[in-house]
Structure 1
């Protein structure tokens, strides 16, 4: 299948490499063009680590080309670029052409669904709770893939498309997808915001100074305990909605093929295996600028809605906002368009199942 990948970062490169390995035909689109300039010039894309190959990848000169020449669209961009991507997709997507969001944040699938419906067409939207791969770009044409996740939570908008969505994801990326009960479950299944909150907050000076530091090795017992407490808040909110979502320990085990233990011990194991990766070396990191407004803030609002305040999430968001000197919650440009914070609980649950 031909897959148009919107994005050109580590996650997009990892997905392109896996699709090529699995016999499919990816095409990458970078909004600025800067991230794919050397690939356009003919340099192969090289993946190393959990995926090891080098291949020539097609590059789209415009979002119109990426969408029009593809069977499926895959959005692999930071959350603060999702609104731009969704508005571009909605203008040109074909009836029946699926869009996969990797990974889903801030109920963005509802915004895309609304835009598509305004055109009078029907096109399914598939939301993942996390990304296919972990890792980072190591050079303009190289990506280091730390792992390929063995399980990925998935839901569709509308929910009635879940069987078709599961079949499509399996055909493209293998038998690794777990259906969840609608978009609300997916929105409470993305663990990156809570995990990155603890990791970045307790290593913020390293980020600010541009240090090279091991991520997993610095998830010490103290940091691990905070991560587990943040997880407990998220799980309590999901339980109030009657939803089953994966715990942080299950997430680590399935993402990195580790035996279940404390989060600190699992990270120590990951580090000892040489797969612990490196933490952000800049304050301009998606760990904060994407995950705080588009991940932490929606979880906080959901906790308020069901009477389960996410106190640690709120405190962490406030601390990061103070450190950055601005309100990170205000940088979410999707939630104000949806007005979800003003919806009754029952209406929110209906909306996340049907898309309307």
Structure 2
């Protein structure tokens, strides 16, 4: 199948390598064109690690070229680029295609649902709780894939298209998907914001100094306790919606195959295995610039909507804003278009199941 991949960073490159390995035909598009310049010039994409090989994905020069003739459209770039990409691809998406968001953040699926509804297009939108692969882009033609996750939570908007959404995900990425109740469950299944907050906040000076440091080994006992305290806030919000979501311990267990236990201990098992991801070496990292406005903020708003305060999440958002000298609350360009803070709990639940077309 033809797989349109919007993005040209580590996740997009890893996805292109993965679907190529599975016999599909990816085409990449970068809004700026800068990160795909070498591939567009004819150089091959080299992947190492959990996916290994040399591949030749096509490169699109426009959103129209990217989407035209694709069976699926994969949005694979940081959340601060989602609105730009969604606005660009929406006029070209058809009801015959499936759009996949890897990974979902800040109710981006609702934003895209609203855009498509305005255009009269009914296409399934699949939201993943996390990415299938983890890794780092090494250059304009190289990506190192650290992990291919064995389980990924997903939901399709609207729920009536769930069978179609699941079938497409399995066809492209294998039998690794766990269907959740609805989009709200996915919004509350994304552990990246809380985990990245713990990692970045507790290792900020390492990042600022540009040190080389292992991520797992620095999720110490104390940092692990912070992970679990943040996790409790997220789980309490999910419980208020009568939703079942994976715990942070289950995330470590199913994603990395380590025995269940306190997060600090599980991380140290991974550290002893070696080969894990390295921590950020700059303050300009998506662990903060993406996850603070597009991850922590939505959780804070959901906590207020359900009278289940996410105190630690909000504290992290405020502390990061102080450390960076910028207001991360104002950097989310998706939520203002949705008016999440003005919705009732039941209205949000309906939207999370039916999408914008089904809302009244």
TM-score w.r.t. structure 2 length?
0.97
What is the aligned partner in structure 2 of residue 57 from structure 1? 57
Q: Distance in 2 between matches of 1:333 and 1:309?
A: 23
1:104 partnered with 2:104: yes
Alpha carbons 1:136, 1:143 under 8 Å: kept = yes
Alignment deviations for residues 61-105 of structure 1 (CA, whole Å, 9 cap, x no partner): 111111113111000011001111111111111123110000001
What is the aligned partner in structure 1 of residue 344 from structure 2? 344
Alpha carbons 2:158, 2:354 under 8 Å: kept = yes
Q: Distance in 1 between matches of 2:119 and 2:161?
A: 19
Alpha carbons 2:71, 2:96 under 8 Å: kept = no
Q: Distance in 2 between matches of 1:269 and 1:48?
A: 23
Alignment deviations for residues 160-207 of structure 1 (CA, whole Å, 9 cap, x no partner): 111111111011100000111110000000000000001000111111
- C-alpha RMSD of matched pairs (Å): 0.9
What is the aligned partner in structure 2 of residue 137 from structure 1? 137
Alpha carbons 1:267, 1:276 under 8 Å: kept = no
Alpha carbons 2:98, 2:168 under 8 Å: kept = no
Q: Distance in 2 between matches of 1:260 and 1:25?
A: 38
- Where in structure 1 do 4 or more consecutive aligned residues deviate above 4 Å? none
Which residues in structure 2 correspond to 1:104-183 (within 5 Å)?
A: 104-183=104-183
Q: Distance in 1 between matches of 2:56 and 2:93?
A: 26
TM-score w.r.t. structure 1 length?
0.98
1:41 CA drift (Å): 2.0
1:273 partnered with 2:280: no
What is the aligned partner in structure 2 of residue 80 from structure 1? 80
Alpha carbons 1:185, 1:238 under 8 Å: kept = yes
Structure 2 gaps of 5+ residues are none
How many corresponding residue pairs?
Answer: 356
What is the aligned partner in structure 1 of residue 208 from structure 2? 208
What is the aligned partner in structure 2 of residue 250 from structure 1? 250
1:214 CA drift (Å): 1.0
Q: Distance in 2 between matches of 1:139 and 1:272?
A: 28
Task: Between 85-94 and 101-110, report the one with greater CA deviation.
Answer: 85-94
What is the aligned partner in structure 1 of residue 303 from structure 2? 303
Q: Distance in 2 between matches of 1:140 and 1:263?
A: 35
What is the aligned partner in structure 1 of residue 9 from structure 2? 9
Q: Distance in 2 between matches of 1:38 and 1:326?
A: 34
